């Protein structure tokens, strides 16, 4: 079983010719809402990848925005433990998507900011804990420590970008970051500081359309991206994380899990939305043998 502890947001998405610069107004296209939030996206990707049972700790408000989020988790087969927060709005994200598939995102975390250390469910039967940085940092650290103490492997997707404490890094087995997030961890010290801080941790760096690279169990791995027609890269990184951990939990080797994650995230780029773009098990298999 994989346990994901993290965020759920309802995404408000508008496509526009380009992402507005400060002070600029851009006339966009149709408006749509999609279930999102890094935690929920990763839980859905993990569940749909098949093979591993997926549980999720998530906080939602008591409002209409909570319903589609709950329904999306349920439909994907995620066993959700929901913390209800009556005095905060459900998390939302405002996403502008440009014609060249870039995005700019503003998140209002709402209920997500109310998850606490004590909300972590029982860990019996859990092999992997998958975390992101859209929850309060003290809770993330407490969950990671509890998991480590229970012999559960901890995978952290250090997104959105922010510096990480040595305390948190000490609890992690696998770190997944994109280039911006790696820069935030490196801070003033640059790449050499990052390398020193990450010693002993398996690290995956995702490189967008260029694929990903990893340093794991003392070996370097390069995983090119699968070539697809990308229309919306929202949730590509989340699909990557969820499918990667599902594969590990199923017993796949690290390099194999990386390949599955890469195929799944490429497929996610070909569809609109985050959770709605997550591919099913059979689609991932089909791309891997193509």
**Does 238 qualify as catalytic in the annotation?**
yes
Nearest to ligand ADP of 127, 157 (CB atom): 157
Torsion sign, CA atoms 261, 230, 209, 182? negative
User: Which residues neighbour 260 within 8 Å (Cβ) at sequence distance 6 or greater?
Assistant: 49, 243, 244, 247, 252, 284, 288
**Which position among 87, 138, 238, 285 bears the catalytic label?**
238
CB of 64 to ligand ADP, least distance (A): 28
DSSP letter (8 states) at residue 163: -
CB of 149 to ligand ADP, least distance (A): 29
Q: Is 64 annotated as a binding residue?
A: no
DSSP letter (8 states) at residue 156: E
Cα–Cα nearest to 98, from 3, 20, 156, 188: 20
Sheet holding 212-216, edge to edge: 79-85, 54-61, 2-5, 128-131, 153-157, 174-178, 202-206, 212-216, 219-223
Q: Is 271 annotated as a binding residue?
A: yes
Nearest to ligand ADP of 14, 228 (CB atom): 228
Q: Is 239 annotated as a binding residue?
A: no
- Return the residue nearest ligand ADP (CB atom): 237
H-state helical runs in 20-136: 38-48, 66-76
Q: Is 235 annotated as a binding residue?
A: no
Nearest to ligand ADP of 85, 107 (CB atom): 107
Q: Give the binding site for ligand ADP (CB under 6 A).
A: 159, 178, 206-209, 211-212, 225-226, 228, 230, 233, 236-237, 240, 262, 265-266, 269
Q: Is 74 annotated as a binding residue?
A: no
CB atoms < 10 A from the CB of 98, how many?
A: 16
**Residues with catalytic annotation?**
238
- Residue numbers belonging to the annotated binding site: 9-11, 37-41, 134, 178, 206-211, 232, 234, 237-238, 268, 271, 273
- Residue numbers belonging to the annotated binding site for substrate: 9-11, 37-41, 134, 238
């Amino acid at each position: 079983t994989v346990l994901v502890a993290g965020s759920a947001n309802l995404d408000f998405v508008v496509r526009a010719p380009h992402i507005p610069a400060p002070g600029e107004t851009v006339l966009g296209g149709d408006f749509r809402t999609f279930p999102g939030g890094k935690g929920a996206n990763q839980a859905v990707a993990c569940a749909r990848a098949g093979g591993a049972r997926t549980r999720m700790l998530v906080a939602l408000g008591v409002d209409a925005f909570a319903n589609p989020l709950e329904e999306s988790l349920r439909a994907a087969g995620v066993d959700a433990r929901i913390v209800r927060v009556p005095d905060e709005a459900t998390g939302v994200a405002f996403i502008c998507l440009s014609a060249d598939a870039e995005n700019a995102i503003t998140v209002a975390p709402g209920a997500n900011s109310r998850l606490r250390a004590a909300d972590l469910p029982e860990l019996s039967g859990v092999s992997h804990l998958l975390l992101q940085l859209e929850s309060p940092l003290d809770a993330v650290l407490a969950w990671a420590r509890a998991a480590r103490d229970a012999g559960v492997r901890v995978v952290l997707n250090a997104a959105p970008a922010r510096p990480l404490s040595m305390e948190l890094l000490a609890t992690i087995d696998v770190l997944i970051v994109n280039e911006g997030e790696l820069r935030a961890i490196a801070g003033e010290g640059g790449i050499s500081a990052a390398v020193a801080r990450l010693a002993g941790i398996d690290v995956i760096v995702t490189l967008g359309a260029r694929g990903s690279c990893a340093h794991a169990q003392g070996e370097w791995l390069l995983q090119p991206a699968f070539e697809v027609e990308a229309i919306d890269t929202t949730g590509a990184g989340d699909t990557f994380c969820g499918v990667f951990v599902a594969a590990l939990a199923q017993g796949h080797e690290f390099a194999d899990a990386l390949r599955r994650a890469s195929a799944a995230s490429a497929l996610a780029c070909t569809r609109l939305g985050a959770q709605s773009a997550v591919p099913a098990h059979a689609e991932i298999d089909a791309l891997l043998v193509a």
